[in-house]
Amino acid sequence: MGTRAIVIDGRVEGKGFYVHMDGYPKCLGAQLKIVYKAGMQIEAISNQLTQIRKKKCVDFLIKWDHVDIDTANKCVVKGVSFLSPEQVSIAKSGGLKAARKVIEINLEYMYIIKDDGIYVKGVTVPMLRKVNLNEVYAYHEML
């Protein structure tokens, strides 16, 4: 199972990134909620999200493949890439359906960063809602 989503900074114009990750859809929202601190720039959120994913990748490689730490630390985390300002503005104004067309990926979710937290809308979330604590607890249980 995987999640294809975009994360848009609702506080400024033209900033957002695309994320593709393995795992349950709730994981991304939970990770974003854990990483996000009030006033944090989207670039810092993306960097921290990438570091979380890299750590999980390294831990997995070491645990299951018996790879040494130096080799595991060289693993590249794919699936986090910044969107163009045009793609972000189309996604903001047209929603998930418009974002799918302009990004040319079958997106499942759109996360929006606001001053008071992280919001989500998507396939199983028809109306925009705040990412809640249950998603964070579900994520911690999977670690």
Give the end-to-end CA distance of the chain in Å, rounded to a whole number: 16
H/E stretch holding 137 reads: helix 133-142
CA 60 to chain centre: 20
Distance (Å, rounded) from C-alpha 38 to C-alpha 14?
19
Distance (Å, rounded) from C-alpha 127 to C-alpha 124?
9
pLDDT truncated to tens, each residue of the chain (143 aa)? 567 899 999 999 999 999 887 655 557 888 888 888 888 999 999 988 888 777 777 777 777 766 666 666 666 555 578 899 999 999 999 988 899 998 888 888 999 999 888 999 988 888 899 988 776 555 544 44
Per-residue tokens: 86: 């045009």
